[in-house]
Structure 1
Amino acid sequence: MITLTNIHKSFGGTPVLRGVTLTLPKGKSTVVIGTSGSGKSVLMKSILGLVTPDSGTIMQDSRPLDRAAFLNDFGMLFQGAALFDSLPIWQNVAFRLLRQMPKSQARTIALEKLARVGLEADVADRLPAMLSGGMQKRAGLARAIATDPKILFFDEPTTGLDPIMARAINDLIRDLVAETGATTLTITHDMTTLHTIADHIALLDAGTLRWQGTPADLPGSNDTKLNAFLFSGS
């Protein structure tokens, strides 16, 4: 669905992405792993248009990426959930919907999405500060799926969560991706996330795509950096 070809990006003369070529298969979950500074976040920001590559192309369905159309059919779970502190949870979830439909209809959809991620209706009128980290992450996930997007991005979805909640979020993401058939991109350090949700895996190393394959390919890999990363979980 989305193809990046020979993407280069430098900041202040320091290369961050060095000719990355990667395809996000339609309806599949792609997980990009790599150590801090490997270029994962810049890769995601390049697709979103938050960073402009120095060279290379980004295509969607074999055509140049139309970011306006892309962003209208896109949802994202941010690292730390990134909820609006001053808005009740239901308005956070319905933030985009409120520009498209009556308030009552947007609230109804928000409550449906909150229920889908395991949050009760009484959460809807609370402020984010009144929720635990895990509940905030679920609310952020509800916001990501509020418009039933065809494309989903997850930025370190389990950061800051205890192992039990992290496992619950991973399972929820896996189920939502299976239900919606969305094309997804996840960047993570969490090997549990990798093994739970990935259909396709890419390892970034110093701005280059060092290895890619499926979860079934991991045990037979002879790549020393991939094996070191998997072993350390870093």
Structure 2
Amino acid sequence: MIELRDVHKAFGANTVLNGVDLTIPKGESMVIIGGSGTGKSVLLKCVLGLVTPDSGQILVDGKAAERASRDAFLARFGMLFQGGALFDSLPVWQNVAFRLLRGAQKRPKAEAREIAVEKLRRVGLKPAVADLFPAELSGGMQKRVGLARAIAAEPEIIFFDEPTTGLDPIMSGVINELIREIVVEMGATAMTITHDMTSVRAIADKVAMLHGGVIQWTGPVSELDATPDPYVQQFIHGRAEGPIESVR
């Protein structure tokens, strides 16, 4: 569903991606791990077309995105943002139905609200939440609203950017379970970037380790602990010593 071929991206003298090759099959959940500043978010933005690679190819379902069909291209994606990114001035249901109230996918207001309430129910929130504002919700509830928005338009591909950041361990576990259930239920292709190894083990079918601008290792999550790759072993065990240099 998603294929990156020799993708390069630099910002001035700072090379972030230095020849990334990665394939994410349809219906599979791929989690990308790596330290802060290794380019995980840049990689995601390249796939979405928010950042243009300097060279290389990015194909979605075998095709490169064209500017003329950008709206149709983006309609295939859903996104759960790291900080929630909810609109403070809109009630919860309008946040969830944001895409359904605009553009090519526009639905009548009553229908959009009905879909929003159903998606809120799917992530464990009651209908009464629909008319609240984001500021009236806890961090965990806001994350659920963000997840409901990500799936509101039934996307084929869903991106998760640090889905458990800022949540306590129990709520993190709840969000991880919800993400896994929903991805499997929808048959969606998922791409997640995270530092949280608990999330990795809960969400992933496969894992890719990004370091030094390239994919250092990729494989099934079941092989993560057994791989002898020194980059992976240092990262997953949080060791100070190893090939990944810590900033002191």
TM-score range, shorter chain: over 0.9
Match of 2:77 in 1: 74
Determine the structure 2 residue equivalent to 1:106. Answer: 112
Query: Alpha-carbon deviation of 1:63?
Result: 2.1
Query: In the alignment, what sits opposite 1:205?
Result: 211
- State yes or no: 1:219 paired with 2:222: no
Describe the shift of the 1:94–1:162 C-alpha distance in structure 2 as closer, same or farther (beyond 3 A): same
Give the match for residue 189 of structure 2.
183
Q: Which amino acid aligns with 1:61?
A: D
Moved over 6 A (4+): none
Stretch of structure 1 that moved more, 184-193 or 67-76: 67-76
Q: 1:136 maps to which residue?
A: 142
Alignment of 1:1-234 (within 5 A): 1-66=1-66, 67-99=70-102, 100-232=106-238
**What is the CA distance between 1:217 and its match in structure 2?**
1.2
- Cα distance change, pair 48–233 in 1 and its aligned pair in 2 (3 A): farther
- Segments of 5+ residues of structure 2 without an aligned counterpart are 241-248
TM-fit CA distance, 1:68? 3.1
Number of equivalenced pairs:
234
TM-score (normalised: structure 1): 0.97
> Contact (CA 8 Å) 2:91, 2:130: kept in 1 or not?
yes
The alignment partner of 2:27 has SS state of: coil
What value does the CA root-mean-square deviation take over the aligned residues? 1.2
Between 115-124 and 210-219, report the one with greater CA deviation. 210-219
Does the residue aligned with 2:224 lie in a helix, a strand or coil? Answer: helix
What is the percent sequence identity of the aligned residues?
61
Letter in 1 for 2:31: V
Separation (CA, whole Å) in 2 of partners of 1:77 and 1:194: 16
Kindly indicate whether the alpha-carbon contact (under 8 Å) linking 1:189 and 1:233 is maintained by their aligned counterparts in 2. Answer: no
1:233 offset after TM fit, Å?
Answer: 8.8
Residues 207 and 224, structure 2, Cα contact 8 Å, conserved in 1: no
Q: Name which of structure 1's ranges 14-23 and 56-65 shifts more when overlaid on structure 2.
A: 56-65
Equivalent residue letter for 1:151:
I
* Structure 1 residue 64 displacement after superposition: 1.7
How high is the TM-score relative to the length of structure 2? 0.92
